[in-house]
Amino acid sequence: MSSLEIPTQPFPDQRPGTSGLRKKVRVFQQPHYLENFVQSIFDSLDGLEGQTLVVGGDGRYYNRSAIQIILRMAAANGVGRILVGRDGILSTPAASCVIRKYHCFGGIILSASHNPAGPDADFGIKYNTANGGPAPERITEAIFSRSRELDRYRILEAGDIDLSRTGSTELGGMTVDVIDPVDDYAGLMEELFDFDRIRTLLQGDFSLRFDAMHAVTGPYAEEILVRRLGAPTRSLMHTVPQEDFAGGHPDPNLTYARELVDILYADDAPDFGAASDGDGDRNMILGRRFFVTPSDSLAVLTANATLVPGYAEGLKGVARSMPTSQAADRVAAALGIKCYETPTGWKFFGNLLDAGEVTLCGEESFGTGSAHVREKDGLWAVLFWLNLLAVTGKSVEQLVHDHWATYGRNYYSRHDYEDVESEGAHTLMQALRQRLPELQGRRLGEHEVAYADDFRYEDPIDQSVSEAQGVRIGFSDGSRMVFRLSGTGTQGATLRVYLERYEADPDQQHQDAQTALAGLIRLADEVAGIRTHTGREAPSVIT
Ligand code: VG1
Ligand code: CO
């Protein structure tokens, strides 16, 4: 087996977005494209020689081929050992768990998360550091600059490694350990949650439905929910991971998890429904004919955390991404714990978690997680909810209604305009940014603007600064609208509009969110000229 140095030329478009580099599979399949990015990762890491890395992905099309390339490149770059999930599978939170548990140097996660999969769809790759979390911008930018000057990469001349069985193999002086993708993660879940109580709940008349959306969480749900917690097999849907996610869009929301939503809104609906995304880091929580917004979910988990063994000692603090509703802020204030607002993307929570400033984190985009790993964690959120239901004996709806009665309700909705023309979307954002100074203090409809800015974040731990993280228009009554462009898409642009209004009066807390937010929705279009710039009459996804 010899190590080769392959001459190459830089690709100009390898800047990681919100969560790694995401492109069409065909882009990654171009000669040298994946290799260049992987070499750029290796070149940006000091002291990689002899170290242990974790590699795994969500099982989508191209996952296996990419892993074989990465293994050969790692060997040629002097990596000491690789832990790789059997069949190349590791959910994103499981990868984070393994990096942490075995004190690895870092890991490479292959996923485009909730984006569709298959030869004509999407692929993604990202680097996670020793804390188990997505590399901070300092590192992703270093990888990007390296990718712009790369002129060769190293790869071992060798055949494929058999990833179908756990065990150790040698590859050009590097050890490849194929590990069970579920074991370590399931063990961690058992440490955090009261499995006995959840088991008792699931073995009574309580019924649940979990939708793995043909993606990576299938095997995890089977092991944890069925084998360890005794839920009947019929509780699970779509648990066999498929390379194209059965042609679906594994995004657990009201639009793309329609089948599950219909089950939960039927007359004979189960008590609890949940779904996860392509790589297992997102979650959607449903009760019987009831949808929990991810922002409310974070607030409810924060308020009730001490009922769960892993958080019985209380929380150090909570963090949410900027567009996430301010529901968690109210709980934090009541508990007397800190609350942080960060830019979109889990990488911004890493420093706060590492420094022990926060215990729980959440994003409005169906992401919730805690200090147990450094990624958001879909099944963790499901187990957290099940644990709360088991301890309180309440239904999902009751738990949320009681929460609103105590803290007030933050009506919340996100409107996505997917795959719109890039130029129009950028013009919209540009025009909005220009209008910000004149909006200060103005009245818009019945609202008075309290602030209008482009979110800038200074990390309280390392003082790094991230600019232009989304336009916020906040009103004196606490309502807000936020506008930003997605950083995970692979074609055109996606405009995200986030709307929020606070309601303290318990009699007014049970309206439909779209109705309660109708005024703000109209205003958002007026302020940003959404229809004019996007040419769309309505959003493609409303959550
Ligand atoms: C989206 C979400 C963001 C999330 C990111 C990665 O990013 O809005 O909250 O962290 O996806 O999630 P964007 O830039 O498209 O808005 V996942 O599950 O794709 O790793
Ligand atoms: Co994901």
Per-residue confidence band for 489, with pLDDT thresholds at 50, 70 and 90: confident
**Is-contact 100 163, C-beta < 8 A?**
no
d(CA 115, CA 418): 12
17 CA distance to ligand 1 middle (Å): 9
Region 438-454 average pLDDT: 92
Per-residue pLDDT tens digits for 221-253: 999 999 999 999 999 999 999 999 999 999 999
CB 154, CB 92: distance < 8 Å: no
The Cα 140–Cα 292 span in angstroms is: 33
CA of 18 to the centre of ligand 1 (A): 6
pLDDT digits over 279-324, tens only?
A: 999 999 999 999 999 999 999 999 999 999 999 999 999 999 999 9
Write a three-state SS string for 328-391. Answer: HHHHHHHHCCEEEEECCCHHHCHHHHHCCCCCEEEECCCEEEECCCCCCCHHHHHHHHHHHHHH
Q: Mutate which of 15, 18, 60, 376 to test ligand 1's pocket (most atoms within 8 Å of Cβ)?
A: 18
Ligand at minimal distance from the CA of 19 is: 1
Residue 434: burial class (beta carbons within 10 Å; 0-12, 13-18, 19+) = exposed
The whole-number pLDDT of residue 487 equals 84
Angle at 113 between CA 107 and CA 118, to 5 degrees: 110
pLDDT at 488: 81
In a 3-state reduction of DSSP, which class is residue 521? helix
In this prediction, residue 388 has a pLDDT band, given cuts at 50, 70 and 90, of very high
The pLDDT of residue 521: 96
Say if ligand 1 is within 6 A of residue 320 CB: no
Q: List 376's β-bridge partners, or say none.
A: none
Sign of the CA dihedral running 317, 276, 109, 171: positive
479 belongs to the catalytic site: no
Residues 6+ apart with CB under 8 A from 205: none
In this prediction, residue 445 has a pLDDT band, given cuts at 50, 70 and 90, of confident
- 255 C-alpha to ligand 2 centroid (Å): 16
The tens digit of pLDDT for each residue in 74-108 reads 999 999 999 999 999 999 999 999 999 999 999 99
Banded model confidence at residue 491, pLDDT cuts 50, 70, 90: confident
C-beta 282 within 6 A of ligand 1: yes
C-alpha 114 – ligand 2 centre gap (Å):
5
Look at residues 32, 38, 24 and name the one whose alpha carbon lies nearest to residue 6.
Answer: 32
Residue 386: burial class (beta carbons within 10 Å; 0-12, 13-18, 19+): buried
pTM for this prediction: 0.95
Provide the 8-state DSSP code for 228: I
* Range scoring the smallest mean pLDDT among 77-86, 278-287, 376-385, 487-496: 487-496
Contact by Cβ (8 Å): 180, 373: no
3-state secondary structure 459-495: CCCCCCEECCCCEEEEECCCCEEEEEECCCCCCCEEE
Number of residues that make up the chain:
543
In whole angstroms, give the CA distance from residue 270 to residue 290.
11
Collapse the DSSP code of 208 into the 3-class scheme (helix H, G, I; strand E, B; otherwise coil) and give the result: strand
pLDDT band at 492 (very low <50, low <70, confident <90, very high): confident
Cβ 18 under 6 angstroms from ligand 1: yes
Task: Give the mutation target among 217, 365, 376, 466 for probing the ligand 1 site: most ligand atoms within 8 A of CB.
Answer: 365
